[in-house]
Amino acid sequence: MLPQPSISLPVAAGIVALALAEGGFSASVLGVATVATWLLIGGLLLGGSLGLGAVTRRLTVLIGLLAALAVWTALSLSWTADDGAGFIDLVRILLYTGLVLLVGLGARAGSAPSWLAGIALGGTVVATIALGSRLLGLGGDQDLALELNLAAERLSYPIGYWNGLGYLLAMTLPAVAWLTVAARTSIARAALAGSVPLVTALFLTSSRGAMLAGAIGLLIVLGFAVDRHRVTEAAIVAVPAWAVVIIAAAVARGELSPIGGPSAAGLAIAALVAAIAAGAHLTFGRLDARAAAQPASRPSRQVGGPVVAAALAAVLAVILVLGPSALLGEFRYESTAVQGDSVGFASDSGRSSFWDAALGAFGEAPLRGVGAGGYEAYWSMNGDLAVPARNAHSAPLETLAELGLPGGLSLLAAIGLGAFGAVVTLRRQRGRTRGAAAAVVGIFLAGLLAIGIDWSWELPAVVAPFLVSLTLICGSGLRPAGAPGGSLLVDSRMAGYEPLDAPSRPAPWAIGLGIGGGLLVAVWAGGVLALAAIQLDRSADRLASGDLTGAAEAARSAAQIEPWSSEPALRLAEIEQTAANLEAAELRAKEAIRLAPEDFRSWLLMSQIQVDLGRVAAAGTYGLRAQALAPLQLGRQDALPEP
């Protein structure tokens, strides 16, 4: 079945749009994406473009688990120490539930190729943009590189985080590989050509986890490919092409700086990548034409030796020419304190410390956790590294830490449901549908690694392919066109499907009521978050330009929209302090402390305000409280304000 542009193009556009918006990490983008997703669901349902006939029992269970996670996240706002951060987590899970619902309702039997083509196209476009930013000197990573030296060595744009970009490209690789080996059209040749910038960009992220994820997904696709001769032909062209661009990029890595204009090395690598991609397209086309002219009966066992030998030879050549360190980059731990989440991702990345803290938080409150958004404060108080960390770098562990057993088991059950479905899917698929199923499972496994050992869960652009694959596994998209699933009168076991693959039996009015309720909640929550975040961003911009009045007005507007968040109050305190309105600054800082009592920033700011007011004793008291909330980050005596 050929990909349908009505599915593939919107999927690709969504991935590219989220990627260009820094992966969808910011609160404003997150809120807008949530509102848009749920309004799209409502509009398509009312217009008849989506229906409930393809909803399987397994998909119903998946949506139910995500909805339960959203409900428990909302309930945790009553005990979390930071309602503002918890509200962001709530909107995020509402977005992901909406994406699963949208894909589940839209993925009819036989539609998997269309979703895979959308992922392949979107990821390849992102890879090309990322590569162009570095090779052509467009400076996409310039700000991050100036803030963090390690970022200068690793491609991050447009996601803003090298591992996040790497995992997105790793999940793209199985879809591109499937298109290459499953189609005998210009699409297959374009896919092979597109793999050249894709692999080059993946290499330049220097993300070893992403490289491993991509390799896993690629091996799943190749291992379950139907046409083994096709795999051989693709490998003959792709492996040498990838080896050449990787060696060239590794040799020129030191000259590919994101700071400054285009370099001669960058322009040369860009020209080489374009030439290799064009050559791969032409060569694969000729091999394709030659294979089409040969008899159809060809032994399938010929794939093993040539492919394995070519791959091993290419890897060996790269290692011998460059050495292991040049291949993987100079990974090193940055011990200096930096702002944000992109910290210390190297051979000794500190992940074990982040995970230990998450387990510690879970151990202290196993039944309910520390509350949504509460990991950052817990880490600041209990972490064993002197760096800030908003996330535990593992979605399952962070969920256990913040939401306890109810939340953690909901997420783990959803992942387990997908893993079970992946095994069943690969076991029962036959013929041409087996290749598409393998690609979906490859994306699922790559995404599972991404959310399991990193903070990719916070990046919707990176999570989107994983959610699509999870939904296709649990829904109807991987069934052959015309397979049973639209009628409740079909005995699914007689048709060869497991009971969980049978159509869902809840009454349509019950499903519709649940979707309607979810739409109202998601649109309200996403809209509130987006509007408040936009006002806070405007306040920051005006404060930077010296417009204190405009900055204060925008911050007050944010406080009115989202009165439970401490961020507007903290911003107003900073503005009032800058304007020397110290009494007003003190009131705003007290409000920020009330709203987020475990956020050391508010206590530290209050200490500084007390210094300005000449209250030495009070300044010391607030400073000590800030130090107790972040003992390592503020452990040095010179980190506190001097009276």
For residue 322, what pLDDT is reported? Answer: 52
Residue 490 to residue 247: CA distance in whole angstroms: 56
Q: Residue 535 has which token pair?
A: 């006002």
Residue 273 to residue 196: CA distance in whole angstroms: 7
pLDDT band at 432; cut points 50, 70, 90: low
Question: Between vectors from CA 609 to CA 605 and to CA 615, what angle results, nearest 5°?
Answer: 130
Residue 567 to residue 561: CA distance in whole angstroms: 12
The whole-angstrom distance between residue 263's C-alpha and the CA centroid of its chain comes to: 31
Q: Residue 420 has which token pair?
A: 């079970």
Residue 153 in contact with residue 329, Cβ under 8 Å?
Answer: yes
**Other CB atoms closer than 10 Å to residue 491's CB: what's the count?**
10
Cis peptide before 508 (omega within 30 of 0): no
Q: Which of 72-81, 110-119, 284-293, 529-538 has the lowest mean pLDDT?
A: 284-293
For residue 434, what pLDDT is reported? Answer: 84
Residue 435 to residue 116: CA distance in whole angstroms: 11
- 56 forms beta bridges with 503
Helices of type H across 545-643: 548-561, 567-578, 582-595, 600-613, 616-629
Residue 360 to residue 353: CA distance in whole angstroms: 10
Answer with the residue of higher pLDDT: 127 or 235: 127
Is the pLDDT at 348 greater than 80? The verdict is no
For residue 145, what pLDDT is reported? Answer: 72
Helix axes 27-47, 508-544, angle to 10 degrees: 150
Residue 467 in contact with residue 91, Cβ under 8 Å?
Answer: no
pLDDT band at 2; cut points 50, 70, 90: low
Residue 577 in contact with residue 608, Cβ under 8 Å?
Answer: yes
Mean pLDDT of 426-448: 87
Q: Residue 288 has which token pair?
A: 């394709």
Please spell the DSSP secondary structure of 392-409, one letter per residue: -S-HHHHHHHHHHHHHHH
Domain edges within the chain: 113-330
Residue 301 to residue 456: CA distance in whole angstroms: 39
**Other CB atoms closer than 10 Å to residue 324's CB: what's the count?**
8
Residue 528 to residue 80: CA distance in whole angstroms: 19
pTM of the model: 0.89
Mean pLDDT of the chain: 85
Give the tens place of pLDDT for each residue, 244-266: 999 999 988 888 878 777 888 99
Mean pLDDT of 286-310: 56
Residue 596 to residue 576: CA distance in whole angstroms: 19
Residue type, 444: F
Q: Which of 64-68, 305-309, 535-539, 599-603 has the lowest mean pLDDT?
A: 305-309
Mean pLDDT of 291-319: 53
3-state SS assignment for residue 612 = helix
Please spell the DSSP secondary structure of 272-322, one letter per residue: HHHHHHHHHHHHHHHHHHHHHHS-S---GGGGHHHHHHHHHHHHHHHHHHH
Residue 214 in contact with residue 202, Cβ under 8 Å?
Answer: yes
Q: Which of 82-96, 112-126, 138-152, 441-455 has the lowest mean pLDDT?
A: 138-152
Mean pLDDT of 615-634: 93
pLDDT band at 108; cut points 50, 70, 90: confident
Question: Between vectors from CA 533 to CA 133 and to CA 96, what angle results, nearest 5°?
Answer: 75
For residue 144, what pLDDT is reported? Answer: 77
Give the tens place of pLDDT for each residue, 197-219: 999 999 999 999 999 999 999 99
Residue 134 in contact with residue 258, Cβ under 8 Å?
Answer: yes
Q: Residue 380, CB half-sphere, CA atoms under 13 Å: how many?
A: 24
